[in-house]
Structure 1
Amino acid sequence: MNFLASKAQLRASFMRWALFLVPLIVLLGFAAGQLGSPQTVWFQSLTKPAIFPPPAVFGIVWGILYVVIGLALALVVSAWGAHGRGLAIIVFALHFIGNLAWTPVFFGMQNMWGGLYVLIYAVVTLIAVIAVFWQVRRIAALMLLPYLAWAIFAGVLNYQFIAENPDGGVTEGSGAAIEVTL
């Protein structure tokens, strides 16, 4: 006997992990999204960059990406005995905290620079995740490439918001009003 588990056992392990991790990743993404909203007066008052896609695109893209992220993570988590598996899970967790932090920082705290720094952290750590996933399951690393592309786009978009709104926009509750002189 020169294998630890049959292919059927490995598929079953992946399916169990996928059935747990995909909904968990989607739920965490949804929960983080509740900590800030593009529906605020502040965001609505910002000048939108030319590359800003229609708002519906964000929900569709993130929904798909979170499912793919969960599947990629399930491939790695179910790779029992694979060299680097534990490190890959830790690096992913550290990365995903940054992913989840962007919405509360950008929308909740209305901090565009903070959002950009969070995205830089997310992109750098995502590159690390892809590298360690590559050591465990190459397909899992490849599955994260669209996510990396979207994270880079998000960083560019975040920077464009800063460039278009150098004053940071009108903050909610600031009592901003138009001054009229007679």
Structure 2
Amino acid sequence: MLANVDTSLPRPALPVDRPWRRQSAALLGFLTMSWCVSLLGSLPIRMNGDGWYAVADKAPWTPPGWIFGSVWLVLYAAMAVAVWLVWRQRRVDRRPALRAYGALLLLNLAWPFTFFGLYPMLETAALWLALLVIGGHAVTATIAVLSFGPISRTAGLLMLPYVSWLVFSASLNLYAAVNN
């Protein structure tokens, strides 16, 4: 009886986890993580932006407030795409690059809480402390570029605007620390 069964027909494939689903979920996860950090980091800015910061002496090159939110939204997205591109590479040791990304998220949270959140208690000392945080942030972002680049050139390039913005933001921080 079994001899009459045609075995030349293809068998239906078993359901598998489609790689594009996993990739899409990972990208969405990195975007969500980045934007959650952005949302949390914006809390001390929203709480103090109209308070002491509104009357603080700011650098003449300080852009309008809405620019910061727009730029950071794009930078967080670029950072998430960059780390996703690194995460996708399975044949290399990605751990140092992924650790750099984690450190960037932590420093992204630390700076607004230091600059905006601690100023009411520590005044100018908070601004100097924030300058140390953003300096470390810029160094860590540079390390991320150098870690991401060999794994994915696109990922490394996506991180360059982030480093540039941190250096620009550090100049604003320095001006505030010196003049307030």
Residue type of the alignment partner of 2:99 = I
Deviation at 1:40, TM superposition (A): 4.3
Match of 1:94 in 2: 103
Residue type of the alignment partner of 2:113 = P
Structure 1 distance, partners of 2:175, 2:44, is 22
**Aligned to 1:66, what secondary structure does the other structure show?**
helix
Instruction: Give structure 1 stretches of 5+ with no counterpart.
Output: 1-7, 166-182
Match of 1:108 in 2: 117
Specify which of 31, 40, 46 is matched with residue 22 of structure 1.
Answer: 31
Mark the CA change 1:19 to 1:69 in structure 2 (over 3 Å): closer, same or farther. Answer: same
Aligned-residue identity in percent? 26
Specify which of 53, 64, 69 is matched with residue 43 of structure 1.
Answer: 53
- Give the TM-score normalised by the residue count of structure 1: 0.79
Instruction: Give structure 2 stretches of 5+ with no counterpart.
Output: 1-17, 120-125
Structure 2 distance, partners of 1:162, 1:25, is 28
Structure 2 distance, partners of 1:25, 1:55, is 20
**CA displacement 1:64-89 (0-9 Å, x = unmatched):** 111111111111112122x2311211
Q: Which runs of 4+ in 1 moved over 4 A?
A: none
Match of 2:74 in 1: 64
- Give the TM-score normalised by the residue count of structure 2: 0.80
**CA displacement 1:110-146 (0-9 Å, x = unmatched):** 1111110000000011111111111211110100011
Q: How many pairs does the alignment contain?
A: 156
Question: Are 1:77 and 2:92 counterparts?
Answer: no
Structure 1 distance, partners of 2:99, 2:145, is 13
* Higher share of residues assigned helix: 2
Q: Which moved more, 1:112-121 or 1:38-47?
A: 38-47
**CA displacement 1:38-83 (0-9 Å, x = unmatched):** 42422122112101101110011011111111111111112122x2
**What are the equivalent positions in structure 2 for 1:105-144 lying under 5 Å apart?**
105-110=114-119, 111-144=126-159
Tell me, yes or no, if the aligned pair for 2:134 and 2:166 is still in contact at 8 Å: yes
Structure 1 distance, partners of 2:153, 2:35, is 23
Deviation at 1:92, TM superposition (A): 1.7
